Structure 1
Amino acid sequence: MEMIEARDWEVAGAGMLDFCDDVLELEVVEGNPAGIRKILDRCFPDSDLLLSNGLIEVPSLFVSDMDSTMIEQECIDELADFAGLKDRIAAITERAMQGELDFESALRERVGLLKDLPETAIAQCLEERIRPMPGARTLVSTLKARGCHTVLVTGGFHSFADPVAELLGFDRVVGNRLGLHGGMLTGGLVGGIVDSSVKKKVLLEESERLGSEVFSLATGDGANDIPMIEAASYGIAYRAKPKARSAADGWVDRGDLTSILSLFGIARQDWVFD
């Protein structure tokens, strides 16, 4: 607080939440958001934090990335392992997530390398490799119990996203479709590409459908999530790459996905554990 007040910014209130005793709530009457963010990030490294220009409201719309956000893995990297190409494809994935490569070009290049991989590898990969991120189901279930509409939007594939969404309880899925023929991957994609612009478009369309006053939450970890994160009422970067973290209103670096519930002031006793 001293560092904030040293900038002549008034701290109107500070205290631990009664029902979330590990959550510190600060109310700053005046101040530069970027400056406050810099101070808090310096004082609370590896923390979970959410900044807002007004009272923090529980969202009525939740739109989330899948890979490395709602699940622990990058599906295309794990699938590539069945083709003996994981290191090669993972290197491309990492550069795309860092924002160093054009997403669509990187996606098409990686999918092309999977040509002639048996379709059965998808089911095997799902069974053996893909695991929900800790806290994912509780986060989705708790928000839905409060009337929140939930959408899983991914630059990955419906082959993975559909079963993941069913497991976690998402209401809608938006993703890419792998080309398949004769039980083998063709190395191509079917239909349009879900990239950063589509993710943002999904969030804006769902917000408009639900009403202009809706509060929205978007979570993600990579450069492809930045437009969606910036367009949401609350954009939270989950253990994210630097560019995505810098673009967000908040971040989770320490806890699991249930930390988001605490940041919105939802007491643990009100969480839904399915």
Structure 2
Amino acid sequence: MATRPSPGRASGRRARDSLLAASFLAPAFAVFAVFAYYPLYRLVYLSLYRPNRNTFIGGSDEWIGGSNIIDSLTSSTFLRSLAVTAKFAVLTVPMGIILGVLLAVAADRKLRGIRIFQTIFSSTVASSVAVASVVFFTLLQPEAGLWRNVSWLSIKQPGSALVAISTTAVWQNAGLTFVIVLAALQALPSEVREAAELDGYGPVRRFFRITVPLISPALLFLAVVLVIHALQAYAQFEILKPTNDAQPLLYKIADPEGVETISSRAVYSLGLFVVSLIVSIAQFGLLERRVHYGE
């Protein structure tokens, strides 16, 4: 007859399991603490205190309180840079997704040589943002670029600099969208398409009524990720060096001449973090209800 383990042995086993689980989680928690939690704490601290260079020899940081946060978030520099960031996201995310989806649909064919086109369309994923920006800089350079005569793609004109830089992000966003959407399309069961064809659905109607709902989880993922990338865009602007009216928020934070004090930079960083968080939550709230998750 089997005997039940004593309460003491059971509690000891649970304690060992908890200790083992904690030992596995400790390295990950340490990484988050050093590279995520502590920097966030420092941002909040620097937003409320003005650092004193003599802190280590007896000085103390100066309390500036919420007035610094209000002044920084209502400054013309912050509002203008935030508007540029929003425009950049609007210009790059929808166009990159649409272009990538069209390329994926076109490449989702069983044709000879189609893999060559699939490799070409997905090649942008293998290129870093810095490399892509350098390539586009050679094209858009005002003095010797191949596209220097295209006025609406000039990186030195106030009205066209943001559009010119957006082409770099659209090019890369389309490649990432192509890879993910093509994988989603190839994972669809062939019976679904065959059933739609038997029901008399044409290609366009089948795409919007059948295909789009089935790949909607991939589209939601792309929308969230690409918007976050747009809000955190920096390398394109650092390499292409646009005019002042086309510099996003992260560029202003990193630019030594963009923001006067480190406390203001901290407030700008917190503002960017909060905006990214709100936008991500809003995307999930508005779009997830339209996402079809298969059983």
Task: Give the TM-score range, shorter chain.
Answer: under 0.3
Q: Which structure has the larger Rg?
A: 2
TM norm structure 1: 0.26
Between Structure 1 and Structure 2, which shows a larger proportion of helix residues?
2
TM norm structure 2: 0.25
